[in-house]
Amino acid sequence: MPKVVIGVMGPGSEATALDLQNAYTVGQLIATEGWVLLTGGRNAGVMQAASQGAKQAGGLTIGILPSADRAAMSEAVDIPVLTGMGSARNNINVLSSQVVIACGMGAGTASEIALALKAQKKVILLNKNASSQTFFKGLAPELVSVVEQPIAALEIIKAFLSDKDHVNRALE
């Protein structure tokens, strides 16, 4: 029986201290719910922090890596999926996530948000980047939520998953 998979996306080396703290907490909260955490899998930034948070809380972590090998993988990833396809793997990240949380902002993160919206996925922005909020809410007002705290992201996901129509659509 397939598990609930929640994606946490965000910058690697350009992540801010707040992004890292938020990512760690979000990872913990996802694991506490019994959901699987999906990230881009690298040992840097939001990917690493979210995976570490999830492991600290006893969760299961999957990493969809841009590389063809395990060299730059986070040690907090339980199951590495090696794509060898660079940023094209960003589309796999979002297709495989029932909801996407974006912690922080950067070009790679922006591509994941846009690909998620293209695939009609629910996206939660957890950042203080006003221009990204304006832009992505303008693109798909019904799919984008903006929060300031990790716990608020969790509440949105719970409401989303308990709404059968959303879930069925997400499972299609």
Surface-to-core class of residue 33, CB atoms within 10 Å of its CB (0-12 exposed, 13-18 middle, 19+ buried): middle
* Contact call for residues 130 and 107 (beta carbons, < 8 A): no
Helix H or strand E segment including 31 = helix 17-32
- Rounded to 10°, the helix 150-162/164-171 angle is 90
Give, as ranges, the residues between 112 and 171 that touch its own copies (CB under 8 A).
Answer: 114-115, 117-119, 129, 131-132, 134-135, 138-140, 171
Q: Which of 70, 152, 155, 159 binds its own copies (CB under 8 A)?
A: 70
The interface mask with its own copies, positions 26-65, x = CB under 8 A, is ----------x-----------------------x-x-x-
CA distance 90 to 86: 8
Q: Which is nearer to its own copies, 137 or 156 (CB)?
A: 137
Applying CB under 8 A, which residues contact its own copies? 1-3, 5, 36, 60, 62, 64, 68-71, 73, 75, 77-92, 95-96, 105-108, 110-111, 114-115, 117-119, 129, 131-132, 134-135, 138-140, 171-172
